[in-house]
Amino acid sequence: MHKYKVCFVTGSRADYGIVRCYLNLLNQDESIDLSILVTGALLDEKYGKAKTLIEDDGFKIGFECPVSLKVDRLCDTTSVMAVVLDEFGKHFEENKYDLVIILGDRYEVYSIAIAAAMQHLPILHLHGGEITLSNYDEFIRHSITKMSQYHFTSTDEYRKRVIQMGEDPSTVFNLGALGAENCLSIDESNVNVEIKQLPDKRCFTILFHPETLNSQSPLVQVNQLLSAIEGFLPDFEFCFIGSNADTKSDVIRENVQAFCKEHEHTHYYENLHPDAYHYLVKKSIALIGNSSSGIIEVPSLSTMTVNIGDRQTGRVKGNSIIDVRCNKDDIIAGVDKAMNNAQEKIINPYLKENSALLYYKTTITILGKLTSTKYKRFYDLR
């Protein structure tokens, strides 16, 4: 039997957590030889070295590219990108995959996409066509779209935008967001006792990242957030999750950790198993922060989202998303509104039934139609 050589590349816990069910279906298919290629925070002790999640799920890690994740300046970020580009360029020179699957918009996977494209390897891009105006993720995501041959988008609006960028409609599929469905299946054996003992709907989850194109400094941003939260203590529990390995993320991390040491009823987790994270969010009144998870996954868990600032500006949003500016008073007002509207029926525009199965079946169709063409045409709108 012919086996298709397929890889998924990842540099963060979020990327991997989103695709677990989809990857499992690919891994169970005897016609597919699946490898996970790992870099970034997943290999770094500082960020919890979450590579173990991949191993515990039974996947084969085909390549590891450790990098020094110093993120004080933008040039630190570009240095990481240069190392990843060089190492993956060598890897793809020696390992010819039939399909390279890439999710999203992180700077590490941008370098991997360039390396794969230069080696004429077909790329399947997940979550293209989305808009997030205050981050370098924005132009990275669209750049990856132009290097990719196939596209799975999470809404029809995003599908249309990918086609608008010159991609052939026959290669662009609206299959919903994997994360919106994945979070509904929680294995409680992966949830630690401390989280299970938190009071239902008397706690909040906090997930806050830097806005990399914002003139307001991450220090000012995080202090506005922490000042707002302080007013709700000790009546509620606040559970902080570690920030992504983005430029200036250490400023947020250090201030949050110091805040948790000084205040009771606060908890800090650098990393959580995806099941533990979803369990925690489901127990929470709201997710507070600026993560895409608050837009895409959290509504499926019947939990509100207080979305701070512009990091997610431009995304399609459901009725449970409360947008606030990054200042103390607006955040307080947003949290109050979340508590008052917690019983509202929530609709998730990203949720599509059996999305993991749709992703898997469409991937199989793509593999069956692969050709040796080394270029793609620009699709002009008529």
CATH of the domain at 253: 3.40.50.2000
163 and 206 inside one domain: no
**Residue 377 in domain:** no
pLDDT at 372: 61
Q: Is 85 helix (H, G, I), strand (E, B) or coil?
A: helix
Q: Which domain holds residue 263?
A: 189-340
Region of 129 on the Ramachandran plot (φ > 0 left; ψ -120 to 50 alpha; else beta):
left
147 and 204 inside one domain: no
**Residue 9 in domain:** yes
Under 8 Å between Cβ of 255 and 226: yes
pLDDT at 211: 83
**Residue 181 in domain:** no
pLDDT at 342: 65
Q: Which residues, listed in sequence order, are joined to residue 206 by a DSSP beta bridge?
A: 240, 288
What is the chain's pLDDT, residue by residue, as a tens digit (382 residues)?
Answer: 689 999 999 988 888 889 999 999 999 999 999 999 999 878 877 766 778 889 999 999 999 999 887 777 888 889 989 999 999 999 999 999 999 999 989 999 999 999 999 999 999 999 999 998 877 889 999 999 999 999 999 999 999 999 999 999 999 999 999 999 999 999 999 999 999 999 999 999 999 998 877 777 889 999 999 999 999 999 999 999 998 877 788 899 999 999 999 999 999 999 899 999 999 999 999 999 999 999 999 999 999 999 999 999 989 999 999 999 999 999 999 999 999 986 678 999 999 999 999 999 999 999 998 876 667 899 999 8
pLDDT at 374: 61
Burial of 328 (0-12, 13-18, 19+ CB in 10 A): middle
Number of domains in the chain: 2
198 and 140 inside one domain: no
pLDDT at 188: 95
Eight-class DSSP state of 304: E
109 and 235 inside one domain: no
235 and 272 inside one domain: yes
pLDDT at 343: 66
Query: What is the Cα–Cα distance from 27 to 35, expressed in whole angstroms?
Result: 9
| Confidence (pTM) | 0.91
154 and 249 inside one domain: no
pLDDT at 354: 94
Cβ neighbours of residue 139 under 8 Å, at least 6 residues apart? none
Strands annotated E in 87-223:
99-103, 123-126, 150-153, 172-174, 203-207
Q: What H or E segment, with its residue span, contains residue 42?
A: none
**Residue 381 in domain:** no
Single-letter residue type at 126: L
Eight-class DSSP state of 258: H
Q: Taking CA 251 as the corner, what is the angle to CA 249 and CA 255, rounded to the nearest 5 degrees?
A: 120
pLDDT at 254: 93
Here the tokens at position 237 are 């529990």
Here the tokens at position 163 are 């086609």
Q: Taking CA 350 as the corner, what is the angle to CA 344 and CA 356, rounded to the nearest 5 degrees?
A: 125
